[in-house]
Chain A
């Protein structure tokens, strides 16, 4: 029996007290988000179920609710019932279903709790239906009625209210940079080495996942070392350096747009030529691909992943790498938002081939790679942690087969999940970012450390 003073889950409370007005709000937002291609998907899905093998949730758990076509049809059935003539006329015969309290509850549990938005089902769908995007549209409709799991919503709101999703105070950020700057000087042996902050007119404005200053400051050092070695003109912003955007996961375009706008404005204020995104899969997809849609405008400046910049450094000879400094066997995890949904596919491979002696591909890889399970806001939605770890078994099996000791992932969310998977499935692997591995291999002028 529940303790009388136990605090009730606010999401559960909201679901129990759902009003007609809430349902109307969900439907209105849901309808607003649909474009021709989405409506065509309603008419296209044959419920063939051949997407089953594409989903790590389904492969790991084998439950009907994990089947991508099931998740998709939760979304499409509601559209059919409320916004198509055939659905209104024939109802359940065509699979059309009314959005009621029970359906809303299933939407929340399934669309938030059984999908990491990795898009693997989309590229393997018989018809090419943008399944993960339709699931995000439904998440956004739920967000309009305040039905985002509170842990995920809290991450969004922390970023909105405090400028970064870890709630790091400005002073702490600046102190961390000052500390890393000292480390950089020691590492490079250059007393003039700097980590610029708010430097006007720098070529690059660099953004990072706030997990770096909070938990992984050596990632900051790695990037700083690389930029220094390349003689790059770069800077951080003292206020807007957070590349993450959990609005992508909550489906809330308004907050997602607001977070993106800050980076756009920071670049403009500092007069940087290029907005460079640190190693964060969803941060890349958000800022590179979705932000222009959220903000309804074209960006008059390039947005690049730090991997693209680093690969250019190696190609142009601006940094020299000594792969013998990374002798342990390394495998590469492809973050879904960066690779399958982002198009940055070969740069990380080019860098690793130059930075390590033993690089082993997982199978499958690149666009076909399995999601680690950490995306879609799953890492913040602790209520679904068991499912997340169970679904991660597919990735763990992939890693184990490579017999690698280091798993490299250009994404901090993935790194967190891969670290947990290593513990859970006793893989004995260490997770690192690409730039950390590259930085370790950099040959600094006048230094011959091996």
Chain B
């Protein structure tokens, strides 16, 4: 087996480990038991859930008052998703290379935004003090992955480096903060359910 072949195999293995570890983490999380609601509902949980993933995503102040950060975050996460598609395309379908013109701008923008978020975290005193090493490391790690994926679109010889970094990234995901991407959806779902059944959200749209 060639070095590239071995690294491709390990990349798939690391991705499988990542999924398995996140699945295990999910089981461990649910082992704590789900909260049963005994109070009679006043509103509809479904409406709350729809709100949580819809209008509520834009109305929350963390978005409404921070549009550039929100836009950056969307771009960043979109780029990470694109980076993973690019990676698996490269590994699984090496003969039908991905459309480079489509990936290049996304990957570059993602890496740049990631770096900007890193600088913001480091530069803002309260954000810096709130952060732990993992916050900086995970951010940089993903930025390096995106930058390498971008460079790889020009320099195919970088594939061993891209794959090596990807392997480490997949191993790190279940251990560090990157796993938030996995649990975010459940947290948001419970948020919508909780406030929806109370009739507190979405509530009236007549806010002044």
Chain A residues in contact with chain B, CB under 8 A? 34-41, 43-54, 64, 67, 69-70, 73, 86, 89-90, 92-95, 122-130, 288-293, 295-299, 302-303, 339-343, 345-346, 361-368
Cross-chain contact of A86 among B126, B175, B186 (Cβ < 8 A): B175
Contacts of A364 in B (CB 8 A): 207-208
Question: What's the minimum C-beta distance from A61 to chain B, rounded to whole angstroms?
Answer: 12
Closest to B53 in A: A128
Cross-chain contact of A126 among B37, B62, B131 (Cβ < 8 A): B62
CB of B194 within 8 A of CB of A130, answer yes
Cross-chain contact of A92 among B52, B133, B198 (Cβ < 8 A): B133
Q: Which of B34, B175, B187 has the most CB of A within 10 A?
A: B187
Contacts of A46 in B (CB 8 A): 135, 177, 180
Can you list 22 A-B pairs with a CB-CB distance of less than 8 A? A36-B32, A36-B33, A39-B32, A40-B29, A40-B183, A41-B183, A43-B180, A44-B187, A49-B126, A54-B61, A86-B175, A90-B175, A92-B133, A95-B134, A125-B62, A127-B184, A128-B52, A129-B191, A289-B39, A292-B40, A345-B204, A366-B204
Contacts of B30 in A (CB 8 A): 36
Q: A49-B124, A50-B61, A126-B62 are in contact. List 18 more A-B contacts (CB 8 A).
A: A36-B34, A40-B29, A40-B190, A41-B183, A41-B187, A44-B180, A44-B184, A46-B180, A50-B62, A50-B63, A50-B69, A51-B62, A53-B61, A73-B130, A95-B132, A122-B191, A123-B56, A343-B199
CB of B39 within 8 A of CB of A292, answer yes
Interface assignment of B203: CB less than 8 Å from any CB of chain A:
yes
CB of A34 within 8 A of CB of B180, answer no
Contacts of A86 in B (CB 8 A): 174-176
Contacts of B176 in A (CB 8 A): 86, 90, 94
Cross-chain contact of A128 among B31, B65, B188 (Cβ < 8 A): B188
Produce 1/0 per residue, B165-191, CB < 8 A to A: 000000000111101101110111011
CB of A64 within 8 A of CB of B130, answer yes
Q: How far is the CA of A124 from the CA of B203 in the complex (A)?
A: 15
Produce 1/0 per residue, B46-77, CB < 8 A to A: 00000010001000111101100100000000
Closest to A300 in B: B40
Contacts of A302 in B (CB 8 A): 40
Contacts of A34 in B (CB 8 A): 32
Contacts of B114 in A (CB 8 A): none
Q: Which of B32, B124, B135, B194 has the most CB of A within 10 A?
A: B32
CB of A37 within 8 A of CB of B186, answer yes
Closest to A84 in B: B28
CB of B131 within 8 A of CB of A47, answer yes
CB of B187 within 8 A of CB of A289, answer no
Interface assignment of B95: CB less than 8 Å from any CB of chain A:
no
CB of B39 within 8 A of CB of A366, answer no
9 smallest CB-CB distances across A and B, nearest first, come from A128-B191, A343-B199, A95-B132, A50-B62, A292-B38, A124-B61, A43-B183, A343-B198, A37-B190
Cross-chain contact of B190 among A48, A53, A130, A298 (Cβ < 8 A): A130
Q: How far is the CA of A289 from the CA of B35 in the complex (A)?
A: 13
Q: How far is the CA of A41 from the CA of B180 in the complex (A)?
A: 9
Cross-chain contact of B203 among A41, A73, A122, A367 (Cβ < 8 A): A367
Contacts of A49 in B (CB 8 A): 124, 126-127, 130
Contacts of B124 in A (CB 8 A): 49
Q: A36-B33, A292-B38, A367-B201 are in contact. Are A127 and B180 (CB under 8 A)?
A: yes
Interface assignment of B192: CB less than 8 Å from any CB of chain A:
yes
CB of A94 within 8 A of CB of B187, answer no
Question: What's the minimum C-beta distance from A114 to chain B, rounded to whole angstroms?
Answer: 14
Interface assignment of B43: CB less than 8 Å from any CB of chain A:
yes
CB of A67 within 8 A of CB of B199, answer no
Contacts of A293 in B (CB 8 A): 35, 37-39
Contacts of B126 in A (CB 8 A): 49, 52, 64, 67
CB of B133 within 8 A of CB of A93, answer yes
Closest to A297 in B: B38
Closest to A51 in B: B62
Interface assignment of B92: CB less than 8 Å from any CB of chain A:
no
Q: How far is the CA of A29 from the CA of B62 in the complex (A)?
A: 32
Contacts of A89 in B (CB 8 A): 175
Contacts of B60 in A (CB 8 A): 123-126
CB of B188 within 8 A of CB of A37, answer no
CB of B135 within 8 A of CB of A47, answer yes
Q: A69-B130, A342-B198, A343-B200 are in contact. Are A35 and B32 (CB under 8 A)?
A: yes
Q: A36-B32, A343-B203, A345-B203 are in contact. Are A47 and B62 (CB under 8 A)?
A: no
Contacts of B69 in A (CB 8 A): 48, 50
Q: How far is the CA of A47 from the CA of B138 in the complex (A)?
A: 12
